[in-house]
Chains A and B, each alone.
Chain A
């Protein structure tokens, strides 16, 4: 066997070991396999809930049902520019997150209040919607 063949085989071996190692590590150590088992059995709603986080997705679905389609809202309890906020903005469109909202979507903030706003609808004690008076 000539040198070039040996070099190619060794390189391929190292390559495949690293490839399999990092793929397997993602699946097993990273917990992806368990996630995929759940996701593969879920319908579209289940996949969204699993991805967004069940609690947050339930809150978004609640807000989508309650709010008028093109509502001007803001979040309380969801950090601006966070991934959660981005997903919320996407999910609730054509509703729009604005600085002067008509609705405030309160997420996991029991007892949250703001002047000029009154409780409009609630999912539970921590998650509810305030509306401008």
Chain B
């Protein structure tokens, strides 16, 4: 049985989760990326979707018109780190509980997740058709003036995942741990290769 989070997500749903756990999402997932974050935090514009207890996805999908509505064609995560400078304040202002993206995020987001009880998770990057088949419907779209990738697509999802928890509510950061490990290994490997590429003599 997959561990499933259902929106609205409560603090107690998240407290048991640890970095490295795998979960799936049922409910409401809203795409929000670079300009969506900038508009709320830097420009002070009101977000046209109430995100309290909901999930956002750092993503810019491919959608097509489908009668009066929209059809999700392809929707994978984008690099979360681009939203690092906004995310802590974004979590505080919106009450969003689950942030889905790709790759890790930094200490500010860790702080926001700990203080306001939220988590960051990664959906495997590039797996955009898999993700699209887990979107049941696009309920509406906001800020379409930003163009297809940057608009806020409000989606109803079923068993959306796998989502690997990368930042939990306790201050753990999977990617920070991994990066420390990569950097530790790097020094000796670079020295070893360097000794074999002294072509300037």
Please say whether chains A and B are actual partners in one complex: no
- Taking Cβ atoms with an 8 Å cutoff, the residues of A that contact B are none
- Taking Cβ atoms with an 8 Å cutoff, the residues of B that contact A are none
